[in-house]
Amino acid sequence: MKAIRIHEFGEPNVLKYEDIPESQPGPGEVRIKVIAAGVNPVDWKIRSGYMELPLPMTMGSDIAGVVDVAGQGVESFQPEDEVFGKASPGEGGYAEYTVVNSSQIAQKPKSIGFIESAAIPTAGLAAWQSLFDIAGLERGQTVLIHGAAGGVGSFAVQFAKWKGAYVIGTASSKNAEFLKNIGCDEVIDYRNQQFEDIVGNLDVVLDTIGGDTLEKSWSVLKPGGFLVTTVASIPEEKPQKYGVRAERLMTQANGKELAQIAAIIDENKIRPIITTVLPLADAQKAHEMSESGHTRGKIVLRVAEDPK
């Protein structure tokens, strides 16, 4: 099968389009014929060597496709099922076939295609777990989402709105109208405005940017408010100093939550935002785009034609 692999860490040109053997699913695992693979910043971070992982490795964290073989003991999925989910570390999703634990996948939303479904797993779960599992966002609360136009942010804005929260997002001005269309009540242009002078007394901040943005976010929370960051360690003294709670997200692969997200999509309440679709062989270009830090929504690689 074809796969995008790395044999060394480095720039996008270390991504190689290669032929490798397909893996066999073990007990509890399924093999999936991949139709589309989502691209996430963690992919280029891994490629660059931010994490010491064994090489060579197949890249890619997110997939949507069709179950090809169900391993021993798998009862919830069978061949021909249309599924989506997180790829297994090392196994990778930028490939024509991938093997995952069946707990990591769910039936794909019926109302959208494989390309849209492949955009969901990492970014959708990151947004869901940050807002609901960690911060416990509730109806009527106010949430500030930094990086609202990005992969995680564009899901977070829609989930928060669906929950009934008042949603404020930060983005550059070119994304203001887009963000209002997907559910932001207010958009702050981070290039020309200081969010810490505009908002305060917030219930939840979701930070997907880090650095100064994280540093300036402590003061805009109400006492007892919750800060979740997807990108940085929490400085030990800050939560106590500001009387707030804080946690760094580590997204968990979770098929049950993906099924919940699929149900909301099929109710037409939210939709994945995709701005770029490229063929699998163009993974280098996809990484260059993702690394720019200014893509709207998601980039997805088309691995095979939709079987329908």
| Binding footprint of ligand NAP on the chain (CB under 6 A) | 40-42, 122-123, 126, 146-147, 149-153, 170-172, 175, 190, 208-209, 213, 230-231, 249-251, 290, 293-296
| Beta strand 245-248 pairing with 202-207 | unpaired
Of 39 and 66, which has the nearer Cβ to ligand NAP?
39
| Separation in Å, CA 130 to CA 126, 144, 252 | 6, 12, 11
- Nearer Cβ to ligand NAP (241/294): 294
Q: How far is the CB of 258 from ligand NAP (least distance, A)?
A: 14
By C-beta, is 62 or 91 nearer to ligand NAP?
62
Instruction: Give the Cα separation of 60 and 43 in Å (integer).
Output: 6
Task: Provide the minimum distance between the beta carbon of 295 and ligand NAP in the complex, in angstroms, as a whole number.
Answer: 5
DSSP letters, 232-299, are: SPPPTTHHHHHT-EEEE--PPP-HHHHHHHHHHHHTTS----EEEEEEGGGHHHHHHHHHTS---SEE
Between residues 31 and 296, which has the closer beta carbon with respect to ligand NAP? 296
In terms of CB distance, is 191 or 241 closer to ligand NAP? Answer: 191
Torsion of CA 23, 39, 4, 303, to 10 degrees: 70
Q: Which residue is nearest to ligand NAP (CB)?
A: 150
- Spatial distance between the Cα atoms of 52 and 54, rounded to a whole number of angstroms: 7
Residue 1 CB, shortest distance to ligand NAP, in Å, is 27
- The CA distance from 135 to 206, in Å, is 9
CB of 224 to ligand NAP, least distance (A): 23
CB of 126: closest distance to ligand NAP in angstroms? Answer: 4
In the bound state with ligand NAP, the residue whose beta carbon lies nearer, of 106 and 176, is 176
CB of 250 to ligand NAP, least distance (A): 5
